[in-house]
Structure 1
Amino acid sequence: MSKRTLAILAALGATTIYGFTHTIAKGVMPDYVQPYGLVMLRVIGASILFWVASFFGPKEKIDKKDYRRILICAIFGMGFNMLVFLKGLSFSTPINSAVLVTSTPIFVLILSVILIKEKTTSRKIIGILVGLVGALGLILFGNEIRQDAPDIPFGNFFLLLNALFYGAYLILAKILIEKYHPFTFMKWLFSLGILICLPFGYQELIAIDWPNLPFEALWKIAFVILGTTFCTYLFNIFALTQLKASTVSAFIYVQPLIGILFALITGQDSLTTVKIIAACLVLLGVYLASRKPKTQ
């Protein structure tokens, strides 16, 4: 199996976990953990895991000239991105969250052209547009609005900010990923993430009533730390070593499909013609956006 194929599988695995997360993370907020408190658990837990994993990787030192870029990556990828995502999810719905993140490739394409002069193709643009049509169809023509969303417009605005910040992170991280081992890169990003998120999440972190948390809340928190944070960031880092940032971001279009399938399995949703058509468009969009051009 080629490295490119493994990278595509890694990107697909990451977006699958993210698809589950929209429902699982929503299930612990705000009854058991407040959004920023959950962010603190994510960055602290992932930092510990990546520091442990780094002992099994190469021993690398960060060049002084890269400190500034790593800090900026941490601000966008482990700070603002996580803060606005969970805050937005707490006010909106899992379906809205899963669909709105599909705007990330649009931001990535724009930022790629501006920041790193990345060339794009008409097929990639068509793929992103096709996937976007399918993703938007899940919201515009599907009845997935939940009752546990206190302020959907506010939440959706934060979720769009999440897409912007994550897109910026993908662009900035691409350059550093080519230079450092993933364990080295991620341990420092998440360590910085703790400092960035601490002013926002400290009070909510210490307010968690650990002795009275049920098992359901504990395993969901563990999933968000181990799966949503550690595994997905590691998978995406590997994917970025073989694929363009805009290609990796295009896999976000699979999230609405995964989210709906997960809801069907758990009995929280039903299948409709609209969802089937939208899912097909999403998959077609990912195929067009990620397919490697033929060499002449």
Structure 2
Amino acid sequence: MKNAVRVHAALFVVALIYAANYSISKDVMPRYMGPFGLVLLRIVGAALFFGIVSRIVAPQDRITGRADNLRAIACGLLGIGLNQLLFFSGLNLTSPINASLIQTVAPIVTVLASVVLLGEKLTLPRLLGIGLAGVGAALIILGRGHGPAAAPGQDTMLGNLFILLNATAFGVYLVIVMPLMRKYHPFTVLARIFLVGAVLAVPAGWQQVQQPDYASFPLGIWAAIVYMVVCLTIMAYLLNNWALKYASPSLLGAYIYLQPALAVLIAVSLGKDTLTTAKALQALLIFGGVFLVSRKPKHQPVATAIPLEPVQD
């Protein structure tokens, strides 16, 4: 019982960390730093942390073999580099509520990738769920929204599209990272994929990370940047990977639904966004679709739980 409470507490904290990021990141971008600069700080910081910790907790563990090394490179490019570059670029251009809702399509992409790569069964309810969620996401992406006026230079539709691509990249990553997480120590895998992600993030964000006048940053902006590097990346990954030892896929799915709900509450309470009837209906379409897709076909073994980061994650 104690362990169950700890698992729920860990998953709730992770959901809260991701949900708060939608509003916190908007305080930093684009006024103080561009999205690629934030990605560079986050990925390099995490790469250093996981690289050091992996040498302490699993010093003899190494990813070996051509196939596993190529898989790790693909995971780093899709799940870390492209995932975060697309996410922060999209969040910079769209609203926190839009971004949090669109990211919930990541489990659907995971199912589609499992069908193609792992031969999972695609049932009628899953097809219906994909259609429902697709309609909901399309309405958000194509809608002009009724929230606060967009800042100069923002393009809500393009931002929504980036978030959808971000969710797609992360959904595929969740499938291809499974064999590595089963075979090697999690810190060994995280150290390698963040290192690969850094190779992509450093050239993309180098210019933006040099532009800001750091001496002029208010304390609140420094706190937001520290939050994104320490809490959003390191703490969330640590809690997630610990919870994955005990949590079922259905429980992880329930907490995926919680993230946008928390993101909406935080964004609305801080005045960062407004929840309209149209957005609520679009959210219901997506949640209904994800629910149908997440249901396992009968007589099919339950997949091993895998690390989830909204598709932020």
Q: 2:112 is matched with which residue: 107, 110, 113?
A: 110
Question: Structure 1 stretch 156-165 or stretch 231-240: which is displaced more?
Answer: 231-240
Structure 1 counterpart SS, 2:33: coil
- Counterpart contact for 1:104–1:249, Cα < 8 Å: no
Q: Please state if 1:228 is matched with 2:229.
A: no
TM-score, normalised by the number of residues in structure 2: 0.77
Aligned to 2:212: 208
- Counterpart contact for 1:182–1:234, Cα < 8 Å: no
- Counterpart contact for 2:10–2:240, Cα < 8 Å: yes
Structure 2 counterpart SS, 1:178: helix
Find the aligned partners of 1:174 and 1:283 in 2 and give their Cα distance: 25
Specify the code of the residue in structure 2 equivalent to 1:26: K
* CA distances 1:221-248 after superposition (whole Å, capped 9, x unpaired): 111111222233334444555545x974
Which residues in structure 2 correspond to 1:146-185 (within 5 Å)?
146-148=149-151, 150-185=154-189
How far off is 1:254 after superposition? Answer: 2.9
Question: Structure 1 stretch 260-269 or stretch 81-90: which is displaced more?
Answer: 260-269
Aligned to 1:47: 47
Q: 1:68 is matched with which residue: 70, 73, 92?
A: 70
Structure 2 counterpart SS, 1:27: helix
Question: Structure 1 stretch 69-78 or stretch 57-66: which is displaced more?
Answer: 57-66
How far off is 1:189 after superposition? Answer: 1.3
Aligned to 2:309: none
Cα pair distance change 1:154/1:128, threshold 3 Å:
closer
Superposition RMSD on alpha carbons, in Å? 3.7
Q: Please state if 1:81 is matched with 2:83.
A: yes
Structure 2 counterpart SS, 1:82: helix
Find the aligned partners of 2:96 and 2:201 in 1 and give their Cα distance: 23
Instruction: Give aligned-pair identity as a percent.
Output: 36
Alignment gaps of 5+ in structure 2: 300-313
Aligned to 2:200: 196
Alignment gaps of 5+ in structure 1: none
Specify the code of the residue in structure 2 equivalent to 1:169: Y
Cα pair distance change 1:204/1:48, threshold 3 Å:
same
Cα pair distance change 1:81/1:263, threshold 3 Å:
same
Cα pair distance change 1:7/1:118, threshold 3 Å:
farther
Find the aligned partners of 1:129 and 1:13 in 2 and give their Cα distance: 31
TM-score, normalised by the number of residues in structure 1: 0.81
Cα pair distance change 1:293/1:13, threshold 3 Å:
farther
Q: 2:269 is matched with which residue: 265, 272, 296?
A: 265
Aligned to 1:57: 57
Cα pair distance change 1:274/1:83, threshold 3 Å:
closer
Question: Structure 1 stretch 48-57 or stretch 253-262: which is displaced more?
Answer: 48-57
Structure 1 counterpart SS, 2:57: coil
Cα pair distance change 1:258/1:228, threshold 3 Å:
same
